[in-house]
A and B are shown apart, each in its own frame.
Chain A
């Protein structure tokens, strides 16, 4: 067993090495094959984090090497990839947050992006001149305040979660789903219309020129070889990795803690959990607020990274996208949430975009087959417009055929082991 694991560890390490070499020497551009090579390289992270096949040394080598050495180097050469990885990591943190709510506690939240919006709008308002419209003067706050503002964003999002959860969490779960669905819409309508009587959100135009943190560091590091904007992208990459690391630790610790067990108990059987002395509303509220706070933190970071927020960034598609990520990866599974986030983000950002570009090329070529001119293909065929369709199919197909996701949560197998020992009832799903 041990030797097999060692062999597989070596295999994963050599796979990673080959992919890194290929990506850095042959497929350096952003074409179809380059994208494919990038995805294959990304896949090494997935293999390396599988505890059952890889030894710790190999895991540390591959994850550390790819995240801290290879990605920055590729990113400096081509910031597009750095942007993709940063997006993946942002969504991974969001997915980890939603995973606490839906995966651990079994509360279906369909308006998760609303909390993301709370965080984003908070930094957008205090980090730009928009704050003057509300408080009179003194804005934007210095960019160094970003980190403090992120903490406030976390608190605000958690507060929003508690306020929304309080009336609904006493009731059956499907009420929660419907109310969060409505709340997502409410936040969007508010963001769109709160430009009068006091201009808080600047309405549909959104808020622009939002302050970026650590710009002076990027400026100081700038050189002819590596321009300032590349350093800024690297700084965001670092910040996002930091956030992802933090989110991972929090998720893992919560999963193993008393409250984590209480969440799972509530998810599996509310009445039994209550009979065991778990305070239902209290425990659910903590789950809801914790999930929301993850979104709040990422919101602030997102606002700073984009330097622009508008109501459109926070529509229903985003909430559903994050839900699709965790359903895809496996509800309640930490590794699954990250895998799902990576798959859906890369699908959206790279695969669909590449297919759309391909279709557009086909259309502009004007070839004719059997009397049908490719130029007549309606623009609605563009694959990048099928987000909802794809999310819908993911949700239905996964629930019907693979309800535990691509990377099932480990706790289920733990219960099954107990059943083998004869100490517990067989209740692994």
Chain B
């Protein structure tokens, strides 16, 4: 393979990486916001994302196969449904698994364990519900509209699907940024993240803000689920695990707790992953296959944790008594 061949693959690879990266970024925001407010990793987040993906597939399959509605509207409806279900689930998880422990001031380990429990429960519950109606591996219905191509460079094209994902994810991220930086609610969220006790003394209803944070994280995860299902065309109840782990890596890479950091981390990780997935097999003669790209993301996580645990945009914190 010559250099020109390798270069020819580059624009498509970068575009794919950006698409994937924005999906990761959308999930990563959920991890990052909850971490910012509560200081713990929401292990159930990957399953909330998975539920969003499943809901979107079901909506597309049962409501829209053979429908004349414009595909963009179909996706919008699926997004609203997925976001509603995922948001509700995230709030429910907070109520069941986190709030009682927070009130009781349970040891540090307890919320981690309950979150893992919720995550396992969701996986199997979804598998159960799905398999009642047949196979639990669900294909996303193919929509010819999204397979149309727009020319990108002289030789390359980009699909409508990728453009749709870029636009939706980009809009979500910008909206969220506005919400957190420029509204009263955002100010309250930032206040709770900075100092929960002081915020509550200033009249912020901390429990409500924590609930809203979970709700926003859940909505974002639901939307990310739709985008993921659209991009990869297939979801099952165990889909959430790997993207969840990668989104967490993205959040850590950007600096966990930081919203621009999660976006930046997601995009960097997505692009790196697709680059490795494309070029590693070429340069190593298939010795290192594409299946190693999951390990690669994990390697990045370890490297960041060794050298810069605060991430690219995170601020360093000192443990207080």
Across the interface, do A171 and B305 meet the contact criterion of CB distance under 8 Å? yes
Across the interface, do B109 and A102 meet the contact criterion of CB distance under 8 Å? yes
Known pairs A186-B295, A193-B291, A323-B113; A167 contacts B321 (CB<8 A): no
Known pairs A168-B305, A174-B112; A270 contacts B121 (CB<8 A): no
Residue of A189, A395, A397 near B292 (CB, 8 A) is A189
A40 interface residue (CB < 8 Å to B): no
Across the interface, do A108 and B96 meet the contact criterion of CB distance under 8 Å? no
Across the interface, do A177 and B112 meet the contact criterion of CB distance under 8 Å? yes
A217 interface residue (CB < 8 Å to B): no
Among the stretches A6-14, A361-369, A386-394, the one at the interface with B is A386-394
Across the interface, do A396 and B241 meet the contact criterion of CB distance under 8 Å? no
Residue of B nearest to A106 (CB): B109
A100 to chain B, nearest CB (A): 14
29 of the cross-chain contacts (CB-CB < 8 Å) are A106-B108, A167-B305, A167-B306, A168-B302, A177-B43, A178-B41, A178-B248, A179-B301, A179-B302, A185-B294, A185-B298, A193-B292, A196-B287, A267-B107, A271-B321, A272-B321, A378-B131, A386-B124, A388-B124, A389-B120, A392-B117, A392-B118, A393-B117, A396-B97, A396-B114, A396-B121, A399-B101, A399-B114, A399-B117
A288 interface residue (CB < 8 Å to B): no
Residues of A within 8 A of B132 (CB): 378, 380
Residue of A316, A389, A429 near B124 (CB, 8 A) is A389
B123 interface residue (CB < 8 Å to A): yes
Residue of A nearest to B127 (CB): A380
Residues of A within 8 A of B113 (CB): 108, 323, 327, 395, 399
Residues of A within 8 A of B121 (CB): 388-389, 392-393, 396
A17 to B2, CA, bound (A): 80
A175 interface residue (CB < 8 Å to B): yes
Contact with B along A177-220 (1 / 0, CB 8 A): 11101110110011011001100000000000000000000000
Interface contacts (Cβ under 8 Å), in number, total 134
Across the interface, do A391 and B120 meet the contact criterion of CB distance under 8 Å? yes
Known pairs A185-B242, A389-B121, A392-B120; A399 contacts B41 (CB<8 A): no
Across the interface, do B40 and A174 meet the contact criterion of CB distance under 8 Å? yes
**Which A residues have a C-beta under 8 Å from some C-beta of B?**
102, 106, 108, 110, 167-168, 170-171, 173-175, 177-179, 181-183, 185-186, 189-190, 192-193, 196-197, 267-268, 270-272, 316, 320, 323, 327, 331, 378, 380, 386-389, 391-397, 399-400, 403, 429
Residue of B nearest to A163 (CB): B302
A140 to B270, CA, bound (A): 44
A192 to B291, CA, bound (A): 10
A192 to B100, CA, bound (A): 41
B119 interface residue (CB < 8 Å to A): yes
Residues of A within 8 A of B306 (CB): 167
Residue of B97, B109, B125, B291 near A389 (CB, 8 A) is B125
Across the interface, do B321 and A388 meet the contact criterion of CB distance under 8 Å? no
Residues of B within 8 A of A174 (CB): 40-41, 112
Residue of B nearest to A389 (CB): B124
Residue of B124, B136, B241 near A392 (CB, 8 A) is B124
Residues of B within 8 A of A197 (CB): 287
| Interface SS majority for chain A | helix
Residues of A within 8 A of B291 (CB): 189, 192-193
| Interface SS majority for chain B | helix
Residues of A within 8 A of B97 (CB): 396
Residues of B within 8 A of A106 (CB): 107-109
Residue of A189, A320, A388 near B295 (CB, 8 A) is A189
List 6 tightest A-B contacts by C-beta distance, closest first: A395-B117, A392-B120, A392-B121, A380-B131, A389-B124, A396-B117
Across the interface, do B245 and A182 meet the contact criterion of CB distance under 8 Å? yes
A259 to B107, CA, bound (A): 21
Residue of B119, B120, B128, B301 near A182 (CB, 8 A) is B301
A380 to B309, CA, bound (A): 43
Q: Which of B82-132 contact A (CB under 8 A)?
A: 96-97, 100-101, 106-110, 112-114, 116-125, 127-128, 131-132
Q: Which of B114, B117, B125 has the most CB of A within 10 A?
A: B117
Q: Which of B246-260 contact A (CB under 8 A)?
A: 248, 252
Across the interface, do B106 and A399 meet the contact criterion of CB distance under 8 Å? yes
Residue of A173, A192, A386, A388 near B109 (CB, 8 A) is A173
B4 to chain A, nearest CB (A): 28
A170 to B127, CA, bound (A): 37
Known pairs A174-B41, A185-B241, A396-B96; A190 contacts B117 (CB<8 A): no
B141 interface residue (CB < 8 Å to A): no
A171 to B319, CA, bound (A): 11
B291 to chain A, nearest CB (A): 5
Q: Which of B114, B116, B124 has the most CB of A within 10 A?
A: B116
Residues of A within 8 A of B302 (CB): 167-168, 179
Residues of A within 8 A of B40 (CB): 174
B83 to chain A, nearest CB (A): 24
A334 to B13, CA, bound (A): 53
Residue of B nearest to A379 (CB): B131
Residues of A within 8 A of B112 (CB): 108, 173-174, 177
A328 to B59, CA, bound (A): 39
A70 to B124, CA, bound (A): 39
B289 interface residue (CB < 8 Å to A): yes
A219 to B171, CA, bound (A): 72
B24 to chain A, nearest CB (A): 15
